Chain A
Amino acid sequence: MSFINYASREINCKIVYYGPGLCGKTTNLQYVYQKTAEDAKGKMISLATETERTLFFDFLPLSLGEIRGFKTRFHLYTVPGQVFYDASRKLILKGVDGVVFVADSQEERIDANIESLENLRINLKEQGYDLDKLPYIIQYNKRDLPGAMSVEELRRELNPTNVPEFEACATTGEGVFETLKAVAKLILVDLKKGK
């Protein structure tokens, strides 16, 4: 649910990065944070455990510039990927405008990807959203690892509805901004339709 403020001429949208544990959601945000100019970003917040696993969420506010005199802001959130944090994951999805599903390309993580994607669908439904009607993008992360499955195989398992998909290596930043731009664009197009 975006927030349009005519008084301060701002539009705020919320993007959530979803995916199984250790798939690279936080790494995506960290790369965006590192590569964004100081004046376009706010502080990145990570609510993580002592071992750097996301406990509640990561948060990164980005300011992209103006459209028709309106400042366009995106709030990027990640969810905790570990299965037992499901209650927290549901909370982060509240008011979401667009979703990036970060898949781990390694063969041994395919079941975790499928489980997380089903979990995303269920949790969205609980909040009254339909994944097929939301701006939604898949990122195949960790393409650089030797155990990575082919994109065709991943697509067959994870992207039956043919949503936009991107290959990425979040640690080096490859594909990170392409993913972000694509989901932001889908959200703005959605807003344009006046949904």
Chain B
Amino acid sequence: MSNPTLVMYDEEFQEINEVIGRLLKEANATVIFLVDKNGQLISGVGETERFDTTSLASLTAGNIAATGGLAKLIGEKEFSILFHEGEKDNLHISIVGGRVILVVLFDNRSSLGLVRLRVKKSSEELSTIFENLMKKSEEREKRGSSDFPFAEITDDDIDNLFS
């Protein structure tokens, strides 16, 4: 398979939430999401309950995929930053570590300059966390670690989902 399964552990999850929590304050943002390039929501901080986070994650990934396709057409590797300006709210979308998408929603209490500046710093921290995460899951996979929750499920468990 071309992509290994993305696995998230408690330790890294907390580290990630610390970084984006800090970014939320420093950038004066309304809400921040981290989304996998395949459209799965990884985490969110701020006023997340105001939004349909699942849809937001899927559309963001679709957006990044479409602009990535455009980039390739003109000979670019990818467009690593997208900015959408609305009347009140704006979206700053950037690719972190080539793998995850950082979405920052902000209004007129912040500015594009501030968001860009803060995102740059946080992106480096996030990249490191995700690199470690990848290494960790590769190592666990090599060891054949038994904490994989699906290793011991039975056919009955699966059937029960559909009953």
Contact = CB atoms under 8 A, between A and B. Distances in A.
Contacts of B74: none
A43 interface: yes
B58 A64 contact: no
Given A1-B1, A56-B62, A129-B1, A7 B151 contact: no
A129 B3 CA distance: 9
B37 A194 contact: no
A160 interface: no
Which of under 10, 10 to 19, 20 to 34, or 35 or more describes the interface residues of A? 35 or more
A42 B52 contact: yes
A189 interface: yes
B66 A67 contact: no
Given A67-B158, A181-B162, A7 B14 contact: yes
Interface residues of B, number: 41
Given A3-B8, A3-B38, A61-B54, A67 B2 contact: no
Contacts of B153: 67-68, 188, 192
B7 A95 contact: no
A7 B150 contact: no
Contact of B52 (A43, A68, A75, A129): A43
Contact of A64 (B14, B150, B162): B162
Contact of A189 (B4, B52, B158): B158
Nearest to A42: B54
A8 B162 CA distance: 22
A68 B2 contact: no
13 contacts: A1-B4, A3-B5, A4-B148, A6-B9, A14-B39, A61-B58, A67-B161, A68-B149, A127-B2, A128-B3, A181-B162, A194-B150, A194-B151
